[in-house]
Amino acid sequence: MTFNLNLKDLQPYPFERLRQLTDDIKGNSAFSLIPLTLGEPKHAPPQFVVDALTDPQHIREALGTYPLTKGSAELRTAIGNWLQQRFGIAVDPEHEILPVNGTREGLFAFAQAMLSGKSDSYVMMPNPFYQIYEGAALLAGAQPLLVDNQPRLDFQQDFEHITETQWQQTELVYLCSPGNPTGQIMPEAQQQALIERAHKYNFIIAADECYSELYFDETQPPGSLLSASKAMGNPDFSRCVVFHSLSKRSNLPGLRSGFVAGDKALMAAFLAYRTYHGCAMSAHHQAVSRLAWQDEAHVIANRQLYQAKFAAVRDILAPHYRLNEPDGAFYHWLATPADDRAFARELLQQFNVLVMPGQFLARSNNGHNPGSGFVRVAWVAPFEQCVEAAERLARFAQSG
Ligand SMILES: Cc1ncc(COP(=O)(O)O)c(C=O)c1O
């Protein structure tokens, strides 16, 4: 039997590794289990989306149509307006925006559509990372090139050690800002330096901006790769695309709704790929997505909930841990006093709190796994549960 040989290169997902690590452990039953592992938003979805999605008339009409892969003009226009309001950029809804079924789907498919398939080509990505970047590169037959997020640089990546040959062999660069799991926002100047290199070495930049609406300093919302591109005199976003999502912004992870926007030549090629792939977003999801992109009030309220939660857990944890305060997203990348796997096991055993060992979210690079010695803590649960978990984490630090 023949099958895609690249499939064998895929790595187990972090949650599978965690299951194996903790399989033999019974969490302390004196406490209820609090999982802080999955980045699945738990705040309430906007009621107006729920109402629209459950309107029978609306559903009946939508179920009777084949939706457009390109997305409805109304949805793309709403996204274009949002990009204009949020980032001050004019993006053409007709040629520069496409819906995706969540950024995960879009980020993965984009690599399949864009990469040459040459086995010596590179896809650059952060390390630690969102594992889809790695799987997308491997399944497209390319090699992941890890660019570590450096603690000494506040978890920014250091691109300066990339060699001339590596730049030449690079076809695609994934960026993640605000970053999962490290929470840093990439400065505009660094994005622009990368865009210059994209032109020099002929590669594409795919920026995962799915956490762009979750940030902590209201005076400094994260910019976009597209605004960085425009500001440097590249207003047609050549070689740049960005991915956005309603999952984190609007607490709609189950809707599977996001978009990709940018360079119109890339968008045209991606649309051709997607038409064959058959991944059009259903019409009722397109319709409610439009409503969500048109409303900002629920996004502000959502962000405030995270800000309040982080303020509370920070106060509890700061006396006991060396905290890396994120600029955005909803994770703490917590330095552990001991091995991160041992930390996760003991925390579960003693306090029934589950966190993700950092080394499962990263790969060894030049002999060092940059996730070692960290755990990822996702503060997605309701406020009281997060406070309770932080208190247990504090007690755990004291007990050690
Ligand atoms: C960095 C990053 N990118 C993309 C995604 C996928 O989000 P979605 O497919 O729900 O838009 C996630 C989800 O956790 C993520 O953490």
Give the whole-number percent of the chain exceeding pLDDT 70. Answer: 99
Q: Is 146 in the pocket of ligand 1 (CB under 6 A)?
A: no
Query: Do 114 and 218 share a domain, yes or no?
Result: yes
Would you state the pLDDT for residue 61? 87
pLDDT in tens, 102-147: 999 999 999 999 999 998 999 999 999 999 999 999 999 999 999 9
Gap from CA of 374 to ligand 1 centroid (Å): 20
Query: Do 266 and 326 share a domain, yes or no?
Result: no
Would you state the pLDDT for residue 38? 86
Ligand 1 nearest atom to the CA of residue 246, by list position = 11
Query: Do 225 and 325 share a domain, yes or no?
Result: no
pLDDT in tens, 333-372: 999 998 999 999 999 999 999 999 999 999 999 899 999 9
pLDDT confidence band for 27 (50 / 70 / 90): confident
Query: Do 104 and 144 share a domain, yes or no?
Result: yes
Mean pLDDT confidence for 212-238: 96
* Closest Cα to atom 16 of ligand 1: 180
Query: Does 313 fall in a domain?
Result: yes
Tell me which of 5 and 138 has the higher pLDDT.
138
Query: Does 216 fall in a domain?
Result: yes
Ligand 1 nearest atom to the CA of residue 258, by list position = 11
Query: Do 266 and 208 share a domain, yes or no?
Result: yes
Would you state the pLDDT for residue 328? 97
Query: Do 287 and 200 share a domain, yes or no?
Result: yes
Q: Which of 295, 323, 352 is the last residue of a domain?
A: 295
Mind spelling out the 3-state secondary structure of the chain? CCCCHHHHHCCCCHHHHHHHHHCCCCCCCCCCCEECCCCCCCCCCCHHHHHHHCCHHHHHHHHCCCCCCCCCHHHHHHHHHHHHHHHCCCCCCCCCEEEECCHHHHHHHHHHHHCCCCCCCEEEEEECCCCHHHHHHHHCCCEEEEEEEEHHHCCEECCCCCCHHHHHHEEEEEEECCCCCCCCCCCHHHHHHHHHHHHHHCCEEEEECCCCCCECCCCCCCCCHHHHHHHCCCCCCCCEEEEEEHHHHCCCCCCCCEEEEECHHHHHHHHHHHHHHCCCCCHHHHHHHHHHHHCCHHHHHHHHHHHHHHHHHHHHHCCCCCCCCCCECCEEEEECCCCHHHHHHHHHHHHCEECEEHHHHCCCECCECCCCCEEEEECCCCHHHHHHHHHHHHHHHHHC
Q: Is 245 in the pocket of ligand 1 (CB under 6 A)?
A: yes
Gap from CA of 103 to ligand 1 centroid (Å): 6
Would you state the pLDDT for residue 39? 81
pLDDT in tens, 264-314: 999 999 999 999 999 999 999 999 999 999 999 999 999 999 999 999 999
Q: What is the CATH number of the domain that holds 185?
A: 3.40.640.10
Give me the chain's average pLDDT, please. Answer: 95
Query: Does 13 fall in a domain?
Result: yes
Q: Which of 235, 260, 295 is the last residue of a domain?
A: 295
Selection from 241, 242, 374, 391 nearest residue 319 by Cα: 391
Would you state the pLDDT for residue 161? 92
pLDDT in tens, 169-191: 999 999 999 999 999 999 999 99
CB 347 within 8 A of CB 393: yes
Query: Does 288 fall in a domain?
Result: yes
Query: Does 57 fall in a domain?
Result: no
Q: Is 208 in the pocket of ligand 1 (CB under 6 A)?
A: yes
Q: Is 98 in the pocket of ligand 1 (CB under 6 A)?
A: no
Query: Does 53 fall in a domain?
Result: no
Q: What are phi and psi of 253, to 5 degrees?
A: -65, -25
Tell me which of 201 and 119 has the higher pLDDT.
201
Gap from CA of 319 to ligand 1 centroid (Å): 31
Q: Is 102 in the pocket of ligand 1 (CB under 6 A)?
A: yes
Query: Do 289 and 347 share a domain, yes or no?
Result: no
d(Cα 340, Cα 359) in Å, to the nearest integer? 7
Gap from CA of 31 to ligand 1 centroid (Å): 30
Q: Is 180 in the pocket of ligand 1 (CB under 6 A)?
A: yes
Query: Do 171 and 289 share a domain, yes or no?
Result: yes
Tell me which of 171 and 61 has the higher pLDDT.
171
For residue 41, pLDDT beyond 90: no
Query: Do 127 and 259 share a domain, yes or no?
Result: yes
Domains of the chain: total: 2
Q: Whole domain around residue 118: which residue ranges?
A: 66-295
Would you state the pLDDT for residue 235? 87
Would you state the pLDDT for residue 259? 98
Query: Does 368 fall in a domain?
Result: yes
Q: Is 258 in the pocket of ligand 1 (CB under 6 A)?
A: yes
Mean pLDDT confidence for 36-53: 92
For residue 399, pLDDT beyond 90: no
Mean pLDDT confidence for 382-389: 95
pTM of the entire structure?
0.97
Query: Do 138 and 256 share a domain, yes or no?
Result: yes
Would you state the pLDDT for residue 3? 86
Q: Which of 245, 263, 295 is the last residue of a domain?
A: 295
For residue 1, pLDDT beyond 80: no
Q: What is the CATH number of the domain that holds 351?
A: 3.90.1150.10
Query: Do 94 and 207 share a domain, yes or no?
Result: yes
pLDDT confidence band for 26 (50 / 70 / 90): confident
CB 181 within 8 A of CB 14: no
Query: Do 253 and 365 share a domain, yes or no?
Result: no
Query: Does 165 fall in a domain?
Result: yes
